[in-house]
Amino acid sequence: MTATESEVFAPHLDASSAPAAVEVLSAEKTYPDGTQALLPVDLRIAEGEFITLLGPSGCGKSTLLKMVAGMLEPTDGRLLLWRRPVQQIEQTGRKMAFVFQAPTLMPWASVQTNVRLPLDLAGVPRKEADARVADALALVGLSKFASALPRALSGGMQMRVSIARGLVTEPDLLLMDEPFGALDEITRHKLDADLLELWRKKKLTVIFVTHSIHEAVFLSSRVVMMAARPGRVVEEFIIDEPYPRNADFMVSPQFARHAKRLQDSLMRASSLNEAEETA
Ligand SMILES: Nc1ncnc2c1ncn2[C@@H]1O[C@H](COP(=O)(O)OP(=O)(O)OP(=O)(O)O)[C@@H](O)[C@H]1O
């Protein structure tokens, strides 16, 4: 790591003064079958933050993320990206990418073709597209696998391809729905660390969904805790620890302190569900 890359970075200190990338304004969601997935949520996410949505199953994490992505309409309320409605993101000159839990790669196409897909869809000329694909593959450490088919890659490598496909459009906002949930712990730690590097290098704003308290503490500048039935935001935690964060951070007393606070909060959020289920 170079001296510049290792400079201390503390987005939680700037979050109140930095421009808003995402504003969720009393946005709520009831599905057509009557499921009340999300009570009104208010959330301001500043440029450069790494936000994690954490909470028990069914608390509306994916629903909220998909509303930010414009993949789902709120039943009421509004969502703004750089002060414009989500559907008008093009007019802001910013870009957003969504990375799903499963890599969802085309099995018959090479890694390179899979990563190029968003550029092909956008009509980017082939030469420029190939150069950007090469950059994205280098970022995730897969340059040597450009011609491979997905089935020749491990689960962790397939997930890297999926991340490269997200990064190839050079997004400002990266939305990730439990991207590493299906991977073994070692691979997950490695990808978490790589993701933090990318986030800092590319000055991204990230919203990340996970079930893992440890992943949330390691990655986030802020954690948004949610509870279910109906889904809602119940607490927020600033993880006021500087970056870069490394393996030493994970065994530090500060890490344990944050993890304990999140654990207690998650227990409260989960017991809210149980209390309501038995009432
Ligand atoms: N298309 C849908 N139609 C009806 N109900 C839905 C739909 N999608 C999700 N739900 C319900 O909305 C609630 C919130 O779901 P959501 O997937 O957003 O939660 P989550 O916190 O992401 O869950 P998990 O951690 O299990 O992935 C759940 O009760 C879920 O069953």
- The secondary structure of 15-79 as a DSSP string is TTTSPEEEEEEEEEEE-TTS-EEEEEEEEEEETT-EEEEE-STTSSHHHHHHHHHTSS--SEEEE
Query: How confident is the model at residue 13, as a pLDDT?
Result: 61
**Short-list 203, 208, 198, 190, CA closest to 135:** 198
Query: How confident is the model at residue 48, as a pLDDT?
Result: 93
Query: How confident is the model at residue 279, as a pLDDT?
Result: 53
Query: How confident is the model at residue 1, as a pLDDT?
Result: 39
Query: How confident is the model at residue 3, as a pLDDT?
Result: 37
E strand segments, 82-121? 84-85, 96-99
Is 206:153 a contact under the CB 8 Å cutoff?
no
C-alpha 249 – ligand 1 centre gap (Å)? 33
ipTM confidence score: 0.98
Ligand 1 atom closest to Cα of residue 229: 29
Query: How confident is the model at residue 6, as a pLDDT?
Result: 46
pLDDT band per the 50, 70, 90 thresholds, residue 185? confident
For 100-111, the pLDDT digits (tens) are 888 789 999 999
Q: Say how many CA atoms lie within 13 Å of 137 toward its Cβ.
A: 21
| Whether residue 253 has pLDDT greater than 90 | yes
pTM of the prediction? 0.90
Minimal-distance CA residue to ligand 1 atom 28: 58
Query: How confident is the model at residue 11, as a pLDDT?
Result: 66
For 134-161, the pLDDT digits (tens) are 988 988 889 999 999 999 999 889 988 9
C-alpha 207 – ligand 1 centre gap (Å)? 17
Any residues with Cβ below 6 Å from ligand 1, and which? 31, 33, 35, 37, 55, 57-63, 231
CA diameter of the chain: 62
